[in-house]
Structure 1
Amino acid sequence: MPGGLRPGEKGKVPLEVGLLKRVCAVPAGPNIIQMSEYILGRRYMFIFMELLESYTSLEDVIYKKTGPLSEEKAKHAFRQIVQAVLHCHSRGVFHNDIKPNNIMYQTTTGQIKLIDFGYGDLLKEKYYPHAPGTPAYWPPEWYLFRKYKAEPVTVWTLGITLFELLCGNRPFKEKMEILECKISYTNEISGGMILLLEELRKSICSDVKKSITALKRDIADIAECTSYLETRMSDIVKVHNEIVTASNEVEETISKLSDLESPGPVSSYPIFANGVQTETSFLAPGQPWVNKQVPEEPMSIGLFETDMDCPDGVLSDTWEKALQLIKGLMTSLLDIIVYYNQKKNVKGVL
């Protein structure tokens, strides 16, 4: 599709093209490279940009040609970089890859042009879940939380870029240096520039350090909660095993009593209803005493008067033990619920 869409025509374009159309719209920003035309195919895309004569990337200037810029040249270049970023944000565009290699520099005039919107996105208030541009410029929050916001990460990359302009190298070489936010100045620069760099560092690192401290505290609370739950679960398992044992004892006792038969021709025991004896029942020889039919109306049964050998309280003691164990289990479960609800109120940092 040569030249993109005709005026008034609607359609979809790749994100990079859409971002460039936004930042290049009239009035265009003087510090942003302009898109002249684009061609879209089924498997490819061509973007034609303005021709920059006598321009080279700031990365080549710093690392291959002249080395770090003087403070006056660095101030002039950095002011233009910030203006370019502000123009992007005013158009709802997040560049997301600010670095010297994406900044073209005209050595004769000091003019700069911001290029390469390949990692760009629409400017949003919410967190971005995908990785930012170049790994060497990743902010601490990406390493910690795998998410970041547009404006803080822009400030972070601007700070690293300014450091490179002045010192001729990056302030961080490893992940832990980024997380600790420690900077060593390898080039002699003025106190004012150091103050500016420190302000940029503190604007990000202070919040990151607070987040790390809060995260460590929450991890300690989680570990404490986990230890407590493990202890309580051990108690629950113990009580559960005791309940199973008691239940087996109850079943074994009932099984024995169910198989027990009356030894003589006649055995009797009194039946009471509301405290008054109503009848005397008899068991025939060989009839299991637990299968004795009882009237449907509620009644209490008195002591056995029989020749069978049945230990006093064998059932009541076993059931009492089982009930006590069940109460212990429920108490443990309630303790865990109360403890969890208390810990749940701890404020997180994510």
Structure 2
Amino acid sequence: MEASLLHKVQSVPGVIQLHECFLSGGNFYMIMELVPKAISLYDYMEKSGKLPLKDIKRLFVDIVKTVQRCLNAGVSHKDIKTENVLLYRDPISGEFNIKLIDFGCGETIKGYMGRHTGGTTIYWPPEYRRWRLPARPGDRMEPWDAIVLPGVPRRSVLRRR
């Protein structure tokens, strides 16, 4: 399923590229883009602390745009979290850019979000826990429904400190 979802979003800027997939010896392999000197947003925050505010604002916009473009392509990632956002520096400008990875919990959008919530439960929005488990027909999916704000400590980060 992950390879199928990645195939649908290959033209989306900010999504990891899938070069090839194949079966060998009963195992399924995916050959993906190598992003030089990339680090997950989670690991960056653990090692370096907070990002500068100007970077947070720009990266947040980049993440929202990437998620919106994936939704427009008919794919919901369903597991947006700091561990699934790679940071890498542009070789010319030196600014951080993002790559969204790990579409393993995702699904195609068929009119509404609905078969299951999926993803990492600690990052579920509060309405999933309260009364919308799973989403209902007609519910609108917005790109910020599953965004983890860069630089905002989450419970998982706080537990490790």
Normalised TM-score (structure 1): 0.39
Residue of structure 1 in register with 2:28 after alignment: 45
Deviation at 1:41, TM superposition (A): 4.8
Residue of structure 2 in register with 1:131 after alignment: 117
Rounded to whole Å, the distance in 1 between the matches of 2:9 and 2:121 is 25
Residue of structure 1 in register with 2:95 after alignment: 109
Aligned residue type for 2:125: P
Aligned residue type for 1:151: M
Runs ≥4 in structure 1, deviation > 4 angstroms? none
Residue of structure 2 in register with 1:151 after alignment: 141
Residue of structure 2 in register with 1:58 after alignment: 41
Larger helix percent: 1
**Contact 2:112–2:141 (Cα < 8 Å) also in 1:** no
Count residues in correspondence: 148
- Give 5+ residue unaligned stretches, structure 1: 1-14, 174-350
Rounded to whole Å, the distance in 2 between the matches of 1:17 and 1:150 is 25
The C-alpha deviation readout for 1:236-265, integer Å capped at 9, x for no partner, is xxxxxxxxxxxxxxxxxxxxxxxxxxxxxx
**Contact 1:119–1:133 (Cα < 8 Å) also in 2:** yes
SS at 1:151 equivalent: coil
**Contact 2:77–2:106 (Cα < 8 Å) also in 1:** yes
Greater Rg by CA: 1
**Contact 1:125–1:150 (Cα < 8 Å) also in 2:** no
The C-alpha deviation readout for 1:124-144, integer Å capped at 9, x for no partner, is 333413232001111223223
Aligned residue type for 1:71: L
Residue of structure 2 in register with 1:30 after alignment: 13
Aligned residue type for 1:166: G
Query: Cα gap change, 1:147/1:53 in structure 2, threshold over 3 Å: closer, same or farther?
Result: same
Normalised TM-score (structure 2): 0.82
The C-alpha deviation readout for 1:269-323, integer Å capped at 9, x for no partner, is xxxxxxxxxxxxxxxxxxxxxxxxxxxxxxxxxxxxxxxxxxxxxxxxxxxxxxx
Query: Cα gap change, 1:150/1:33 in structure 2, threshold over 3 Å: closer, same or farther?
Result: farther
**Contact 1:94–1:150 (Cα < 8 Å) also in 2:** no
Query: Cα gap change, 1:150/1:60 in structure 2, threshold over 3 Å: closer, same or farther?
Result: farther
Aligned residue type for 2:126: P
Residue of structure 2 in register with 1:166 after alignment: 151
Larger strand percent: 2
Of the two structures, which has the highest relative contact order with CA contacts closer than 8 Å and spacing of 6 or more? 2
Residue of structure 2 in register with 1:77 after alignment: 59
Deviation at 1:42, TM superposition (A): 7.3
Deviation at 1:60, TM superposition (A): 0.3
Residue of structure 2 in register with 1:185 after alignment: none
**Contact 2:113–2:141 (Cα < 8 Å) also in 1:** no
SS at 1:54 equivalent: coil
Q: Please, which of 68, 83, 86 is the counterpart of residue 68 of structure 2?
A: 86
- Give 5+ residue unaligned stretches, structure 2: 157-161
Rounded to whole Å, the distance in 2 between the matches of 1:88 and 1:140 is 23
Rounded to whole Å, the distance in 1 between the matches of 2:130 and 2:66 is 29
